[in-house]
Amino acid sequence: MENKKILIGDYLGTIEEFVPGKGTYAEDGKIYASNMGKYLVDPENHVVSVDGKNPPVLERGQVVFGEVLDLRKNAAVVIARKLQGHPGEVDIKTGLFVSNMADSYVERPEDAFAIGDIVKGVVIKIESGLIDISTKGPMGVVKAFCRRCRCPLEKSDKGPDMLECPCCGNKEKRKIAEDYGNVSEL
């Protein structure tokens, strides 16, 4: 884990292995990062810490912009890069469960999102360092790229959740935000 950039909520080890230091917290015997930054271990005292800047305090209702990093069985992992109303960039790991993706039923994450999509979401839950966001209502994908050729997709007139590739004509479905393609923060 040396030299790895740590994100908030990253698992760092157990309290049997380490003493939780600055920028970390322990819960149920496990140590997680409460800061983003550099992973540090004091080998003499077995203290693990994360050296970095203090992130802006995240609260419920905060609108975030982030990138879809991974699609799991019933959730997408979204790395929040920007907080609406705050200058500068952040790196905060958030979870987007299928039940929080759209107002209608979503069976699998890949039915609504693709890896690399930029999404606008709202923080709905913060618990044990895990942050849940929702993309219901006006939230959703604000920028997406063609799975075939990586061109930025444009809104399609084929349906409310359809995007179209101006380069190759490929059509793709997403949970699209009201202001798709029109977000000045990005």
The binding site for Zn ion (CB under 5 A) comprises 146, 148-149, 151, 165, 167-168, 170
Shortest distance (Å) from residue 116 CB to Zn ion: 13
Instruction: Tell me if residue 111 falls in helix, strand or coil.
Output: helix
For 74, other C-beta atoms within 10 Å of its C-beta total 13
Which one, 53 or 158, has the nearer CB to Zn ion? 158
Q: How far is the CB of 143 from Zn ion (least distance, A)?
A: 14
Closest separation in Å from C-beta 118 to Zn ion: 17
Q: How far is 123 from 4, CA to CA, in rounded Å?
A: 26
Based on CB atoms, which residue is closest to Zn ion, 1 or 149? Answer: 149
**Given the complex with Zn ion, which of 1 and 167 has the nearer CB atom?**
167
Q: What is the DSSP string of 42-104?
A: ETTTTEEEEESPPPPPP-TT-EEEEEEEEE-SSEEEEEEEEETT--S---EEEEEEGGGT-SS
Shortest distance, position 150 Cβ to Zn ion, whole Å: 7
Contact partners, residue 129, CB within 8 Å, separation at least 6: 8, 9, 25, 27, 32, 33, 34
Nearer to Zn ion, 130 or 151 (CB): 151
